[in-house]
Amino acid sequence: MPRRIDKVSSMTKGHITMSMNKLNLFNIYRKDPLQYFGKTLYQQKWAAKTETRNYHGQQIKEKRFKNVLFDSNLKTYSQLDASLKGHDVAPTPITLQTYGTLEKRLEIALFRSMFASSVRQARQFILGGYVKVNGVVIKHPSFPLQSGDVFSVDPEKVLFALGKTKPSLEKALSVDKKQIKKWNNYVFEAKQNPEKIWDLKQNKPDSLDTLKQIEDFEKQKKSVQNAKKLMKIQQNQVTRQSILQDIIQLGNSASESASLETFSKYGDVARTKCLQIYQTLAKKNHPITKDPSTKNIEGFLAKDETKSPDEKHEIRLINSTLRELQNSEWERIRIQFENFEEGTDTKFFQTSFAKALRSVPKLNKEEILEDESKAKVQLPWQKHLFGRKDPSRSYFTPWTPRPFLGAFAILPSHIEISFDTCHAIYLRDPVARPGHSEVISPFPDHVHERAYMYYVRKGKS
């Protein structure tokens, strides 16, 4: 039987174990480097052995590890070609392989593959018959894996191991009671002072996740680049010919005589110039007013030495006015896209904002404790009891990763893992290479060196 874990003792002594528990993460955070000053060599070896054994194979009795499992022949890999060429080669952390023989145990392989949150939980899965090796149920946690072995775990157990803890019914009711109270206070305050709440809502970040903020920034940057390209395309489409053609078409489409209102789309200043151009052409009954085709307009604006001096002067004035209108349109398009880039169009206060908010009725605790199916939660972000969307599951639903999971998400080099099917392949025993050891450990090589010195003396030779 493995030793029972004592959480109080573990927190007091600060031992680091093979566990994804938040208390273990706190121990890693507050752990001071092992000090050797003032200690004899034996005391150094004993301290290193004590620290490393609490992490590597804590559930294994010391006598069994020392006399049976420990192997003094550590597996390493040397890059002979690099050393022969005279290149600088990083030192090989050979002593990190001190506990390499434990990595082939099925219980530790499950933990390394992130199919269990601790080695002790991996043992429970194995003893419960939820683990298969090469398609056969194995109920021995110490089963030694060989190169090429395929092992798998029931996906429900993996979701349970890596998921957030499922709250009890009373705990879920307590959380929802607080959520409903805060939401109703928010609705009441929004109806009393809607503009203040709107400003707070607009200034609130979409997410506190740094990675998501970076992704959103990249998306916004890409959308701005696309907007600038679109702005250039729209500006290139605005020419003197297109403006003159549009002025003639607007003037001809007016039910009565053209006025300033006819050209209101160009703005208060520019519409006066548009009206002057149209009236100049209409008074002389110019042919392009009847047929404002692209070909006719280009011919009208082109230089023609056969025209009289008055006609040339008139065309020069129209050309000058069209250039001013063209610059004005380009500036209008630029400002329009600048507003889009700054997102000013999403910051305006909406008067219907507070009217759309609805308060949520309180939950009847006694009724729900008798029959959970009667719980009706109407929060905007949650339509079920907190963490109990599917009460039949043994984990938090909808599934949410356990807290601080990212700190322990280290995938081993000697195991190929598929989280889609909860299968893994044990490729080979872990080895040490220059500058890298495949045995994952929170302790540096000098600690493992002293632990190896302890066991190579006390263990079998």
Name the domain count of the chain.
Answer: 2
Same domain, yes or no: 45 and 155: yes
Shortest CA distance to 172 belongs to which of 397, 360, 401?
397
Same domain, yes or no: 260 and 341: yes
- Whether residue 220 is contained in a domain is answered as no
Same domain, yes or no: 13 and 120: yes
**The pLDDT value given to residue 374:** 86
- Whether residue 199 is contained in a domain is answered as no
N-to-C CA span, the chain: 27
Shortest CA distance to 250 belongs to which of 280, 271, 233?
271
Query: What CATH number does the domain containing 130 carry?
Result: 3.10.290.10
CB contact burial 286-321 (16+ within 10 A = b; e otherwise): bebbeebeeebbeebbeeeeeeeeeeeebbeebeeb
**Which helix (H) or strand (E) covers residue 299, if one does?**
helix 294-301
Last residue of a domain, one of 312, 345, 378: 345
Same domain, yes or no: 57 and 130: yes
Same domain, yes or no: 58 and 133: yes
The domain of 339 spans 238-345
Q: CA torsion angle for 409, 413, 418, 419 (degrees, to 10)?
A: -10
Tens place of pLDDT per residue across the chain (461 aa): 455 555 555 677 788 999 999 999 999 999 888 899 999 999 999 999 999 999 998 889 999 998 888 888 888 876 666 555 666 778 888 999 999 999 999 999 999 999 999 999 999 999 999 999 999 999 999 999 999 999 999 999 999 999 999 999 999 999 999 999 999 999 999 888 888 888 888 777 766 667 777 887 788 788 778 878 888 887 787 777 777 777 777 777 765 677 777 777 777 677 777 777 777 777 777 777 777 777 777 777 776 666 677 777 777 777 777 788 878 878 887 877 776 655 544 556 676 778 888 889 998 888 899 888 888 888 999 989 999 999 999 999 999 999 999 999 999 999 999 999 999 999 999 999 888 899 999 999 999 999 999 999 765 54
Are 440 and 114 spatial neighbours (Cβ–Cβ below 8 Å)? no
Shortest CA distance to 154 belongs to which of 411, 425, 421, 426?
421
**The pLDDT value given to residue 50:** 93
**How many whole angstroms separate alpha carbon 186 and alpha carbon 208?**
21
Same domain, yes or no: 14 and 144: yes
**The pLDDT value given to residue 168:** 92
- Whether residue 15 is contained in a domain is answered as yes
Same domain, yes or no: 53 and 151: yes
- Whether residue 196 is contained in a domain is answered as no
**What is the SS3 assignment for 131?**
strand
Same domain, yes or no: 408 and 273: no
Are 147 and 427 spatial neighbours (Cβ–Cβ below 8 Å)? yes
Same domain, yes or no: 336 and 407: no
Last residue of a domain, one of 320, 345, 370: 345
Same domain, yes or no: 423 and 335: no
Last residue of a domain, one of 302, 326, 345: 345
- Whether residue 29 is contained in a domain is answered as no
Same domain, yes or no: 408 and 329: no
- Whether residue 233 is contained in a domain is answered as no
**The pLDDT value given to residue 344:** 44
